[in-house]
């Protein structure tokens, strides 16, 4: 079906159609579509823009990725479908950042497809297609990683991650930067630096921060980030939006009576 650009929800309908296509192509799994819907709801509640706290987190994430000795970004089907190009821009701005495919629902074919998407967007080296190591105490396929990638990383950027894996990565002593629209998710609550923002907006802002960076970065020195304040601000942003909506809840665009 063609979507009219004048539809009040055109932008999100277009993204949905794009994801449905990526699903038919074997990149996105059904569970990934459901997860996207959850994100959509939170983005809607957050006003579908990067509020001040999100921008602060993105600035801090840029500094951490630059200070890292071995930063790695973990990519699943949804990330590849939604943000291969923003990710390629980030890697161009920060070539030391490794890119690794990591799938909850892993098949060799699907891993190859996700990697192909990333390569088509301009990312030359993609790890994780043939895993060479394993994260302990993680029963899902997400435990399979690359010896020189996530297994060796000091800082992991994990967009659209699940709580179990976030916990497992932290248990290995890695610094975890998450991108997740749900400020109440286990991922957001477990991450060292939770970014509560939409994926492409977050990646583009991190890239811009890396490009515009003037201050010297000392490898291995990470500026502290107040994660509690960041999550509280995300919740307060949603609350503010809801209070505004509650004042005019029953306005009907057009009505019978």
Given the rule CB under 8 A, which residues bind its own copies?
1, 8, 16-17, 19-20, 23-24, 29-31, 33-42, 44-45, 105, 140, 163, 167, 170-171, 173, 182-184, 186, 189-190, 227-228, 231-232, 235-236, 238-239, 242-243, 245-246, 249-256
In whole angstroms, the minimum distance from the beta carbon of 242 to its own copies comes to 5
Nearer to its own copies, 98 or 185 (CB): 185
CB of 30 to its own copies, least distance (A): 4
What is the DSSP secondary structure assignment for residue 48, as one 8-state letter?
Answer: S
Residue 47 token pair: 């006003």
Q: Which residues contact 247 (CB under 8 A, 6 or more apart)?
A: none
CB-based contact 87:203 (threshold 8 Å): yes
> Given CA atoms 204, 30, 9, 14 in this order, what sign does their dihedral have?
positive
User: Is 90 within 8 Å of 141 (Cβ atoms)?
Assistant: no
Q: Which is nearer to its own copies, 211 or 244 (CB)?
A: 244
CB of 221 to its own copies, least distance (A): 17
Coil, helix or strand at residue 132: coil
Q: What is the spatial distance between Cα 109 and Cα 129, in angstroms, rounded to a whole number?
A: 9
Closest distance to its own copies from the beta carbon of 28 (Å): 8
- The residue among 68 and 238 lying less far from its own copies, judged by its C-beta, is 238
- Quote the tokens at residue 2: 């063609």
Residue closer to its own copies (CB basis): 113 or 189:
189
Query: Between residues 165 and 227, which has the closer beta carbon with respect to its own copies?
Result: 227
Q: Any residues with CB less than 8 A from the CB of 1 and at least 6 apart, and which? A: none
* Pick from 21, 16, 50: nearest CA to 36: 16
Report the nearest approach of its own copies to the CB of residue 204 (Å).
Answer: 23
Q: Contact 43/181 with Cβ under 8 angstroms?
A: yes
CB of 83 to its own copies, least distance (A): 17
Closer of 93 and 155 to its own copies (Cβ): 155
Tokens of 257: 């009576």
């Amino acid at each position: 079906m063609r979507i009219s650009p004048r539809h009040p929800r055109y932008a999100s309908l277009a993204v949905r159609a794009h994801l449905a296509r990526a699903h038919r192509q074997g990149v996105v799994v059904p569970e990934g579509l459901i997860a996207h819907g959850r994100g959509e709801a939170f983005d809607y509640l957050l006003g579908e823009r990067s509020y001040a706290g999100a921008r602060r987190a993105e600035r801090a994430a840029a500094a951490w990725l630059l200070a890292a000795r071995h930063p790695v970004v973990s990519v699943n089907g949804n990330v590849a479908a939604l943000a291969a190009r923003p990710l390629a821009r980030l890697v161009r701005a920060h070539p030391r950042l490794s890119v690794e495919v990591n799938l909850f629902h892993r098949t060799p074919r699907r891993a190859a497809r996700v990697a192909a998407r990333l390569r088509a967007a301009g990312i030359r080296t993609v790890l994780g297609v043939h895993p060479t190591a394993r994260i302990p105490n993680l029963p899902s396929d997400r435990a399979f990683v690359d010896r020189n990638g996530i297994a060796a990383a000091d800082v992991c950027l994990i967009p659209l991650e699940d709580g179990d894996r976030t916990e497992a990565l932290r248990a290995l002593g890695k610094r975890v930067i998450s991108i997740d629209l749900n400020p109440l998710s286990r991922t957001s609550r477990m991450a060292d630096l939770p970014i509560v923002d939409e994926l492409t907006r977050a990646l583009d802002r991190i890239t811009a921060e890396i490009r515009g960076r003037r201050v010297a970065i000392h490898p291995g020195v990470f500026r502290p980030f107040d994660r509690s304040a960041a999550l509280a601000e995300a919740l307060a942003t949603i609350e503010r939006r809801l209070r505004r909506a509650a004042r005019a809840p029953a306005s009907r665009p057009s009505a019978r009576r």
